[in-house]
Chain A
Amino acid sequence: MSDLRELYQEVIVDHNRHPRNFRENAAATRKIEGYNPLCGDKLTLFLELDNGVIKDISFVGTGCAISMASASLMTEALKGKTEEQARAIFDRFHTLVTQDKGGAVDEDQLGKLAIFAGVREFPTRVKCATLAWHTLQAALEGNKEAISTE
């Protein structure tokens, strides 16, 4: 039960219920779909880049609480960041949710995103937490094809 509470913290439940930056953006310079065929989680990410800076980032879609909250918190964390900073945060986040406890992640550097540490205990849910992030990575690389976690 403690692992479960660790996974479904209030912040995650709140971001699932009221996802931030949950909207389309007609001014987006990059738009890409992410899809997890395993559970049907689906989102569209809108990225508005201005001179290497993320001027706006938003998403729409459906999915489980972990995937929705992860997308929501990601948009909060990345708005105003440079592409390079965003890539660095992606790497830290990825390490956080995939590495065993005691991994080399400085959770302080991740701020609010550190609450996803609980996902480590649920290997089947890692893809839920990383869907938005993999979609982001594809968008930063300029991919146009929809990406899939499989």
Chain B
Amino acid sequence: MSHGADNMALKSGTAAGAEFDVQRVRRDFPILDQQVHGHPLVYLDNAATTQKPAAVIDTVKAYYEHDNANIHRGVHTLSERATRAHENARVKVQGFINAADPSEIVFVRGATEAINLVAHSYGRSRIGAGDEIILTEMEHHSNIVPWQLLCEHTGARLKVVPVNDAGELLLNELEKYLGPRTKLVAVTHMSNALGTINPVERIIAMAHACNVPVLVDGAQAVSHLNVDVRRLDCDFYAFSGHKVYAPTGIGVLYAKAALLEAMPPYQGGGDMISRVSFDSTVYSKIPHKFEAGTPHIAGAIGLGAAIDYVTGLGMERIAAHERKLLAYATEALSALPGVRIIGTAAHKASVLSFVMDGVHPHDIGTILDSDGVAIRAGHHCAMPLMDRYGVPATARVSLGVYNTFEEVDVLVSAIDKVKDIFG
């Protein structure tokens, strides 16, 4: 099967619209320039983690080579520089998601820790026996298990909004669940397993009409969509740096300042206090109240560099490029006999989950890897969702800013090889 002709047509179509130069973008990512099993690396596992541009790698390296010191309270020059760079990164995050104030940005290890922070601090102080937390069927385990732990601790209950066959939330079910017992709605902005982009703005409006706050898991969305927390009016927004071209081990919890002010600390230690005696402790102001211990300074600075990088390219242009790629890949995979796409929501991004008749996704993953094509095979930390579709696992292609139409062609011929082997 040749995709060359379609490919050309699509490419010339894009050339007229924008000047997005994917080859130039690829040169920004040193890791892409390598062979895997004798083939050029085709990295299609971006929903798991993204690669890092030289701008991020160099920024982190320069920090360690020139500015490394512990932050806050240091009177020496390096500490001042490190503190400034760290807090400057917070301002970049604020701008990136359009928060009202840098104090609404709490640095954490990742989206998982952000959600755990809310479940612990907000959850244990505000949610009690008989209360209800609404989740959805398409949540990642990181937006399920912290709430289950909270329920075990408090006697609260989970309500789960189901999805339809296409992978879209059934909002009328959400409407039914929202009631006087509801204390929180926790929903993903974009499904890591299906690619569905949820109508979070509408969900938030529905919840707020019942005075229920909403946590949005933005782990996937943040690298594919323009996120504006004030337009969404979400109460909490969680994401990980490493899924938006930044280092691992750094992430963000956004929360409205009034909520953060009222919430008790999550962890105790240095940096989160203003005065300690053995009789009592006065906590720091937000966000520092939630940042006990020496933080991942280099990670935060790296995240700032990644934000500069993606905003430099333009989130709209990144999204437009990925949208064309996804459409091209969806069409190509749909044309393959025996291949079924899981997740066909009208509004989706970047993710293409599929199964093949008679072939387990794990075998697809191994065979594709032998052609240098990196995809993910498994339950994608969304076991309830796999049960919903009656599959043990899927093979998942997830696109990033540096992927090309040619790479989709390589993917398709590698899938043909799976068929050769399994007959």
Interface positions of A (Cβ within 8 A of B): 1, 3-5, 7-8, 13, 17, 38-42, 62-66, 68, 122, 124-125, 128
Query: How many residues of chain B have a CB within 8 Å of chain A?
Result: 19
B87 to chain A, nearest CB (A): 40
Q: Say yes or no: A128-B367 contact (C-beta < 8 A), given A4-B421, A39-B377, A40-B393.
A: no
B362 at the interface (CB under 8 A from A): yes
Task: Please state if B370 and A3 are interface contacts (CB–CB under 8 Å).
Answer: yes
Which of B358, B363, B379 contacts A66 (CB under 8 A)? Answer: B363
Do residues B379 and A13 form an inter-chain contact, with CB atoms below 8 A?
no
Tell whether A8 pairs with B386 under 8 Å between CB atoms, given A17-B358, A38-B378, A39-B393: no
Q: Please, which residue of chain A has its CB at the minimum distance from the CB of B360?
A: A64
Q: Is the CB of A4 within 8 A of B363?
A: no
Cβ of A124: which chain B residues have Cβ within 8 Å of it?
Answer: 366
Known: A13-B422, A62-B360, A62-B392. 15 other contacts (CB 8 A): A4-B421, A8-B421, A8-B422, A39-B362, A39-B393, A40-B378, A40-B392, A41-B392, A63-B360, A63-B362, A63-B392, A65-B359, A65-B363, A65-B422, A122-B366
Q: Are B386 and A64 in contact, with the CB atoms below 8 A?
A: no
Tally inter-chain residue pairs, CB-CB below 8 A: 52
The reply to whether the CB of B423 lies closer than 8 angstroms to some CB of chain A is yes
In the complex the two chains form, what is the Cα distance from A81 to B423 in whole Å? 34
Cα-based distance from A65 to B377 in the complex (angstroms) = 14
What are 17 sample pairs from A and B whose C-beta atoms fall under 8 A apart? A1-B370, A5-B421, A8-B421, A8-B422, A38-B378, A40-B386, A41-B362, A41-B392, A63-B360, A63-B392, A64-B360, A64-B362, A66-B362, A66-B363, A124-B366, A125-B362, A125-B366
A-contact 0/1 string along B386-407, CB 8 Å cutoff: 1000001100000000000000
A37 to chain B, nearest CB (A): 9
Given contacts A39-B377, A40-B378, A42-B392, contact A4 B360 (CB under 8 A): no
- A8 and B363: CB pair below 8 A? yes
